[in-house]
Amino acid sequence: PPTGAVRRAWSAGGACQVSTGVAHSARGARHGAQLRRAACAASVSADGGSARGAGVNMNGAGTASPRAPGASVAQENTQERQRPQEQQEGGKKSRKRRRRPAGENFGVLVKRRDSAAAVALFDSRRAAGEAIAMHELDALLFLLRTEAVGDAATDISAAAAAAAAAKDKADAEEFVGSTIGQDAAQERVMEVFDFMSTISTPTEPAYTAAASVAVTRGDLKRAVALLREMADARVVAKHRSYSTTLDALADEGEYDEAVALVEHMASSAVEELPATGFELCALLRAAAGANRTAAMRPLLDRLLNDVSMLTPPQGEALARWFRESAPHPRHLAPAESEAAPPASQRQEDGGAAGASAGWRVSEDVELSAEGKCPFSGTQLEAKFLSDAEYAEFSTRVEALAEKRASNPEQLAALKQFLEHHGPFDIIIDGANVALFNQNFAGGGFNCRQIENLVAETAKQIPSARQPPLVILHESRVSTAMRTEEGRRVLGKLKKQGSLFATPRGANDDWYWLYAAAIRGESGLLVSNDQMRDHLFQMLRPREFLRYRARHQVKYDFDGKNTKDNRLGCNLHNPKPYTECMQVARDGATWHVPVCNEEDGSVRWVCAWHAADEAAG
């Protein structure tokens, strides 16, 4: 029952504070409402409703307030229940009111491509001494850099077309597309960068924008200095941070400076940035511009060993180099080749004067199923790892698997399993198989697909040791074993010792790759996984790509059921050639794979010296 103090507060009809009635949250408001209803009921029964007769309510803050004439107790209770929601909505509205108007929001102005308004906003807020957040300055620099280093008219035209085509027509109506001129934009980028430096350490986008403007102005020394300053400031860089400066050094033929910058990326950056195909192609251009013929073959060897598979832009850059800058093939032959001239002659002849003479290049070559190039007539080879390379590859996979494991003893369980039940020539990525083509309503983890594929390996790969080993994550196994089909299929595999459950906290990708790798040349991995995940990028590209090309077996379930093959399972053995960069021993023919990252398809850049054709 309510205390006497509460009853006295009601009967007095004044704005008295109830000690337990202060409720700013929804929970407090509900508690206050319960007190008020209890007080009301008690006052009616005790003194004939003196408080109600006075027409008093208790408001959300716990104080007394008049009740509207004629309002019933039920209406009062409904109003009390609504108050917490109204208070929450009021808080949301107040937060919305604190947001800056569109004309005072850098993000909105960037979306509108309104450089003039963005610069004016920066000036006004800085003059007023108002704090400007780092992310707001990054947005402003993004807008200004676009105009400072590129074709503002083209960019604005493209942005306007995108806005007009947007589903939200308000975007098209709000689009402005104002500019301040390229020179002014360059000045403003450096001004904003300097202002950011007075607040805190500039961000990576800020350093990248400032370096790009320095390049546009022709001040390559300033650009390089900014990139080195970024590393000294412990700002995490990206490949894009260096790309504009490196591209400019290559155009100028500043080979030594370009090499130093690439080495800085790999050694001095906060996070190591190994050279990609873009950086190596830029160094090739720089070497050609500086007449450094002797450096070209080592750079191509780095492409062969460290990259091997290029992206489409990198493939275009390499094709352009062969057309415009590549020396005579004898300068590109391996050093041990009979076609290679002495090192002294490599530096003396060739070079820019005779560059690209006789080279023919095609950028979109599709090989035959056997691996024959229709452009040069060359038959590409199957490239295997040596015994030493197999051992090094499996050791590296093992080290990375242990490093990625949450428990150092997790991989030891697989090793013990393989020693007890192995060896296995065929390793199956169980999750990849069970989830194949299951992205439809009612689809899910299909154990029958694992069962059918296991059976087909004996028929379609009879030379391999049977049965295959299926590797599945422990969570997948435990979930599947709750179903009758899962218990039948996985129970059979477990009974015959051909199912390994990856422990919790471990990545099963490393387990099936390790189990296949330790079998050396005889190991086969059944999976449709493209293995483009960042985890696989931790392996050396040359060994990994060659291993994948020679040891990955892909599959499909085409629905063409037969009596013996219930799900129509087909296995696709490795191609008769290896999808890696290949070069003739005389250096006259080059084939470079280019991978489309969207669908995984591979096309080839073929560079073939015409003199070789005449000799043939």
Q: How far apart are CA 120 and CA 415, in angstroms?
A: 66
Is the separation of the CB atoms in 324 and 567 below 8 Å? no
User: How far, in whole angstroms, is CA 48 from its chain's centroid?
Assistant: 73
77 has pLDDT over 80? no
Average pLDDT estimate for 546-573? 79
Q: Give, for 431, the enclosing helix (H) or strand (E).
A: helix 430-434
The strands making up 552-557's β-sheet, listed across from edge to edge, are 499-502, 469-473, 426-429, 524-526, 552-557, 569-572
Average pLDDT estimate for 494-512? 89
Q: How far apart are CA 325 and CA 356, in angstroms?
A: 5
Residue in 430, 502, 499, 497 with CA at minimum distance from that of residue 473: 502
For residue 413, count other CB atoms closer than 10 A to its CB.
16
Say which DSSP state 211 is in. Answer: H
Helix intervals (H) in 443-540: 447-460, 474-480, 484-495, 508-517
Phi, psi for residue 607 in degrees, rounded to 5: -115, 125
Per-residue pLDDT, 555 = 92
Complete DSSP assignment for 511-525: HHHHHHHTTGGG-EE
Per-residue pLDDT, 320 = 92
User: Does domain 103-365 correspond to CATH entry 1.25.40?
Assistant: yes
Q: How far apart are CA 172 and CA 185, in angstroms?
A: 24
Average pLDDT estimate for 49-76? 45
Per-residue pLDDT, 171 = 47
For residue 412, count other CB atoms closer than 10 A to its CB.
12
Q: How far apart are CA 407 and CA 500, in angstroms?
A: 17
Phi, psi for residue 569 in degrees, rounded to 5: -85, 130
Q: From residue 361, how far is each of 20, 550, 602 by CA, in Å? A: 85, 28, 17
pLDDT tens digit string along 575-599? 999 888 899 888 899 999 998 877 7
Average pLDDT estimate for 125-136? 92
Q: Which tops the pLDDT comparison, 415 or 178?
A: 415
Output the six-digit token pair for 230. 């970024």
347 has pLDDT over 50? no
Type of residue found at 26? A
Type of residue found at 610? A
Q: From residue 394, how far is each of 308, 512, 520 by CA, in Å? A: 20, 12, 8
Output the six-digit token pair for 157. 């035209």
Q: Which tops the pLDDT comparison, 390 or 401?
A: 390
The class level of CATH for 387-572 reads alpha beta
Per-residue pLDDT, 58 = 45
pLDDT tens digit string along 140-197? 999 999 899 875 444 555 554 554 444 444 444 466 678 899 999 999 999 999 999 9
Q: How far apart are CA 464 and CA 515, in angstroms?
A: 15
Q: How far apart are CA 404 and CA 506, in angstroms?
A: 7
Complete DSSP assignment for 120-132: HHHHHHHHTT---
Q: How far apart are CA 254 and CA 585, in angstroms?
A: 30
- The domains of the chain are located at 4-98, 103-365, 387-572
From 69-78, 185-194, 467-476, 560-569, the region with the lowest mean pLDDT: 69-78
Q: From residue 137, how far is each of 134, 156, 515 by CA, in Å? A: 5, 20, 50
Where residue 315 falls among pLDDT bands split at 50, 70, 90?
Answer: very high
Per-residue pLDDT, 252 = 94
Q: How far apart are CA 462 and CA 247, in angstroms?
A: 52
Is the separation of the CB atoms in 403 and 614 below 8 Å? no
Q: How far apart are CA 528 and CA 80, in angstroms?
A: 61
- Report which listed range, 175-179, 528-532, 563-567, is most confident: 528-532
Q: Which tops the pLDDT comparison, 150 or 473?
A: 473
From 168-172, 393-397, 484-488, the region with the lowest mean pLDDT: 168-172
- Classified as helix, coil or strand, 365 is strand
For residue 488, count other CB atoms closer than 10 A to its CB.
12
Complete DSSP assignment for 234-284: TPPP-HHHHHHHHHHHHHTT-HHHHHHHHHHHHHTSSS-----HHHHHHHH
Per-residue pLDDT, 355 = 53
Per-residue pLDDT, 8 = 44
Per-residue pLDDT, 210 = 96
Per-residue pLDDT, 599 = 77
Average pLDDT estimate for 98-102? 56
The reply to whether omega before 467 is within 30° of 0 (cis) is yes
Residue 580 falls in which region: left (phi positive, over 0), alpha (psi -120 to 50) or beta: beta
Say which DSSP state 464 is in. Answer: S
The strands making up 602-609's β-sheet, listed across from edge to edge, are 359-365, 602-609, 589-595, 582-583
Q: How far apart are CA 583 and CA 600, in angstroms?
A: 23
Strands 524-526 and 499-502: unpaired
Q: How far apart are CA 33 and CA 35, in angstroms?
A: 5
Residue in 384, 334, 381, 380 with CA at minimum distance from that of residue 543: 384
Where residue 110 falls among pLDDT bands split at 50, 70, 90?
Answer: confident
* Average pLDDT of the residues of the chain: 78
Average pLDDT estimate for 63-85? 50
Output the six-digit token pair for 19. 């000690």
Output the six-digit token pair for 30. 């509900």
pLDDT tens digit string along 233-285? 999 999 999 999 999 999 999 999 999 999 998 887 677 788 888 999 999 99
Q: How far apart are CA 334 and CA 611, in angstroms?
A: 18
Q: How far apart are CA 125 and CA 476, in angstroms?
A: 56
Output the six-digit token pair for 279. 């950086």
Is the separation of the CB atoms in 165 and 159 below 8 Å? no
Helix intervals (H) in 268-409: 277-289, 296-302, 312-324, 343-348, 387-404
- Classified as helix, coil or strand, 590 is strand
Per-residue pLDDT, 155 = 52
Q: Which tops the pLDDT comparison, 24 or 415?
A: 415
Residue in 14, 87, 20 with CA at minimum distance from that of residue 56: 14
For residue 518, count other CB atoms closer than 10 A to its CB.
22
